[in-house]
Structures are given as structure tokens and as C-alpha cells.
Amino acid sequence: MDFLLPARKVKHAAFVARKRVRRGYVRARDLAFTAYSAMVPFTFDVDRHRSAWGELPRMYFLHRDPPPGCSTDRPVQRKIFVLWTGENDLTPNRAKGLQSIDDRNPGSVVLVTPKNLDDYIVPGKPLHSAYRHLSLVHRADYLRAYLMHHHGGGYSDIKVCRHSWVGAFERFESDPALWIIGYPEIGSDMCGGRDPRLGHEIRRRYRSLVGFGAFICRPGTPLTAEWLRELDRRLDYYSEELAQHPGDAWGENPGYPILWIELGADVLNPLQLKYLDHVGQDPMLLPQLTDHR
């Protein structure tokens, strides 16, 4: 079958070329977005994102007032929650990542697993009943919202930590206007927000947002309250389908109804735009984003 080798080489070369063109396009687009964001001040006006027919966009949850009982002055604990939602052992790369977080922040790391999850459930505030049917990845997406709203403090993916979080905690504690602080989002293609109009605005402002993999939150703020409320609403919607097709580790099994970003950046990024005056950035919180699985 040697006669197939030239065709395979051509196909591979075309794939590599397309990938390079795509990467170059994204870089150029992000440079343009960065320049635009620096020159044009942002004002949040969700009504701009209604369709021509006047319906609310996919992101209609942004129109809602915060739930009652929100606060912006609760203290922030110097704890960094990390999540492992399955019964399986940590992979070697995840174990390396967890050890690095602990090494950089000794005494601050809280590993939440199925064995101790109940210790962090607030009385009268149970997890959504559909939680048990989520993929392991989406369980982590849901839990980070739950923990940040009810407990606050830090959250990190289990990835190699490159810096201490002490400086970020100190800055956060000294500025009561901050509700969330994290590393600057690394690219517009990492952003959520699937509504055609609002999603474009999110990508255009990506340099003002924080990434989904590591951050510190003040508990009980309108941002965390609306974040968790919207996740609960989405799980209400998907509950029947989830019961019929519960997720595997990655949510890749047939019939699983929830998209990869639907419980993550698809909610948190729009809310950051809504509350952009309360979003802070610290590049020291950026973890290593490769070789973590």
C-alpha cells in the first residue's frame, strides 16, 4: 500500500496548513479586539442584544435582578478549592498539578472529592438533584459555582501552579469592590456566550475577562448568586434528558444533552460583562494550561 503514502502526506500537509492559517487568524483577530477594547469604553446594556423581533437572547438570565440576600462584604477565606468529582484515582499529571498547588500555597488547598463533598454542602442549600447525572467535568463546573457562592475563596483546576496566590489574595482582600479576580483570559476563542450578538461582544472584550481555570471569589455577591441560579435553571431544563442519558467522564456519551461550555464559561463570561466593574485580574493566577490530563 505504499502508493497511499503520498496521498496521506498531502492530506496531513493540508491539515497542518489549515491549522496554521486558523492560528494566525485568531492571533490577528485578538490583536484587533485588544485594540478595540482599549479605545472604546465598555458600558453594559443587555437590551442591545435583543433580536430584531424583540425576543430575549439566549443569555436572557442577564436581565434578571439578583436573588434576595446577596452581600458584597462577606470575608474571603484563604482557601483554594480543587475538585476531583470521580471515584477514580488522580492521573499522574493531575497528582503533579495538585502537589504544585499545595507547594505554592501550603496549608491553603482543599481537595473536594465524592468522599468529603457532604462536608461542604450548606444546610438547606442542597446540590441540584440532577447533579448525580452530570458528566464528571460538568460536576466540577457546577461545584465551583456552588462553592464560590456559599463559601468563597479560591478555585483552581488541577493543573501545575506556577506562582503563589498570596499576592492575589492580599489584593482581593484590600479592595472591597472586587467580587472576582483571576488571570486575564488568554484568547477570544476560549470565551463562552453563544448568543450571536452578546457572544461577539464577549469575544471583543476578552482581555477584560478572567479565565475559567483559576480565580478567587467573594461569597454571596450578585455575580456568584446569578451564576449558581442560572446553572440550577439549566439543570431544571435538562433534568429529564440527564436522567435518561447520564454523563460519562467527559460528557461524550450518546444522548448526553449538555454542551462542553454550557455550565461554564457560557454563564460566567456574560456575567463578568454585566459586573465588569467588579472583575480584577492577576496574571500570577494563570496555571500551566498544557499537559494536565
pLDDT tens digits, residue range 20-69?
Answer: 555 666 677 777 767 777 787 787 776 665 554 455 456 678 889 999 99
CATH of domain 41-285: 3.90.550
- Using alpha carbons, select from 60, 72, 67 the residue that is nearest to residue 270: 60
Rounded to the nearest integer, the mean pLDDT of the chain is 88
Q: Give the list of residues 6+ apart from residue 292 with CB closer than 8 angstroms, or none.
A: 93, 94, 97, 157, 158, 159, 160
Q: Where are the domains of the chain?
A: 41-285
pLDDT(113) > 70: yes
Contact 59, 193 (CB under 8 A): yes
What is this structure's pTM? Answer: 0.88
Dump pLDDT digits (tens) for 239-255. 999 999 999 999 999 99
SS3 179: coil
Grid coordinates 498547588 are at which residue?
Answer: 101
Lookup: cell for 7: 496521498
- Using alpha carbons, select from 256, 43, 7 the residue that is nearest to residue 133: 256
pLDDT band at residue 215 using 50, 70 and 90 as cut-offs: very high
Dump pLDDT digits (tens) for 173-199. 999 999 999 999 998 888 877 777 778
The pLDDT of 134-147, averaged and rounded, is: 98
